[in-house]
């Protein structure tokens, strides 16, 4: 076997894997980088490994050999540490991987969590064919990211379901770069306030119906934040009370008349 293709999380790890398979040190091979590693779409999905091709070089008289990096790669693979005893051996792939992961974690720790979340949202908008801008508003308990641009209905979705999903992912992205827990609220075209007003009007209307019929009304399943709006709106109502029943994601608000 004079030529093999090896993969790894980094170029160093891929080279080390190839050397281990060939059972030689790095000065016995030429290395061509076939592809660089990447984090994949939006830095979260479809991680792509590094891929290299190792070609075993013929030994020269006196045990010398050439070890050029193939020019077409336009890059050079970092040299691997080699321990020589009676037979050459490649560095342990796990050690190389650990050092690379430590460097990556250190670099990530220096990034601003909110800027990373904003970058994620912009990339998502581009993937959806939208040109958006994102403004950051810091509050006491959470930070709101306001999205503006044309065609934001795509990012909001039916009753805000897409917006809620993007908010969940934006929180994951931001907290990857933070030592303490961060809470991000995502808004677009003032949707959160408009949705709150819609829910409050709904609560008032249904409370009136319950008072008239003296029968409880069970609402459709809602996220916890929306159920909270209904409960808060009717908390001080004189004729009805509310409670929730069911399990997530099918938990519902029940509006029932107060006993006389």
Domains of the chain: 3-81+89-109 (no CATH), 113-189 (3.30.300.20), 192-257 (3.30.1370.50)
| pLDDT value of position 219 | 97
| pLDDT value of position 205 | 97
CA distances from 183 to 140, 171, 223 (A): 10, 6, 17
Q: Is the pLDDT of residue 41 over 60?
A: no
| pLDDT value of position 43 | 52
Rounded to an integer, what distance in angstroms lies between the CA atom of residue 3 and that of residue 14? 14
Dihedral over Cα of 93, 98, 101, 106: its sign:
negative
Q: Is the pLDDT of residue 191 over 80?
A: yes
Residue 66 tokens read as 């050439």
Q: Could you give phi then psi for residue 152, rounded to 5 degrees?
A: -75, -5
**Prediction pTM value:** 0.56
Q: Mean of the per-residue pLDDT values for the chain?
A: 81
Rounded to an integer, what distance in angstroms lies between the CA atom of residue 185 and that of residue 163? 10
Let me know: does 54 contact 3? Beta carbons within 8 Å: yes
Q: Identify the three-state secondary structure at position 7.
A: strand
242-260 as b/e, with b when 16 or more CB fall inside 10 Å?
beeeeeeeeeebbbebeee
Rounded to an integer, what distance in angstroms lies between the CA atom of residue 36 and that of residue 10? 8
Least confident piece of the model among 88-92, 124-128, 152-156, 165-169: 88-92
The helix or strand, by DSSP H or E, that contains position 71, with its residue range, turns out to be none
Residue 215 tokens read as 């029968």
pLDDT in tens, 222-244: 989 999 999 999 999 999 999 99
Give the sheet arrangement for strand 240-245, strand by strand.
217-218, 252-257, 240-245
How many Cα atoms are found within 13 Å in the side-chain-facing hemisphere of 187?
A: 17
Residue 169 tokens read as 């992912």
Q: Which whole number is the average pLDDT over 29-34? A: 87
């Amino acid at each position: 076997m004079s030529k093999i293709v090896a993969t790894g999380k980094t170029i160093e790890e891929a080279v080390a894997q190839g050397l281990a398979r060939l059972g030689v040190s790095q000065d016995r091979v030429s290395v061509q980088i076939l592809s660089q590693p990447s984090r994949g779409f939006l830095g979260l999905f479809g991680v792509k490994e590094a891929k290299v091709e190792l070609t075993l070089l013929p030994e020269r008289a006196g045990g010398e050999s050439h070890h050029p990096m193939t020019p077409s790669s336009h890059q050079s693979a970092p040299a691997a540490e080699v321990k020589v005893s009676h037979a050459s051996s490649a560095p342990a792939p796990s050690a190389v991987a650990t050092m690379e992961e430590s460097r990556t974690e250190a670099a990530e720790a220096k990034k601003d969590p909110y800027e990373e979340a904003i970058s994620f949202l912009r990339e998502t908008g581009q993937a959806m064919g939208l040109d958006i801008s994102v403004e950051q508003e810091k509050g006491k308990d959470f930070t709101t990211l306001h999205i503006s641009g044309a065609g934001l209905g795509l990012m909001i979705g039916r009753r805000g379901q897409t917006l809620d999903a993007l908010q969940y992912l934006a929180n994951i992205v931001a907290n990857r770069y933070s030592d303490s827990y961060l809470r991000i609220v995502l808004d677009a075209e003032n949707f959160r306030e408009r949705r709150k007003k819609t829910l409050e009007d709904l609560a008032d209307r249904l409370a009136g119906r319950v008072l008239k019929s003296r029968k409880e009304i069970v609402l459709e399943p809602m996220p916890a934040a929306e159920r909270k709006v209904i409960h808060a709106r009717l908390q001080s109502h004189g004729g009805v009370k509310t409670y929730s029943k069911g399990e997530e994601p099918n938990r519902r608000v029940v509006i029932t008349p107060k006993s006389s």
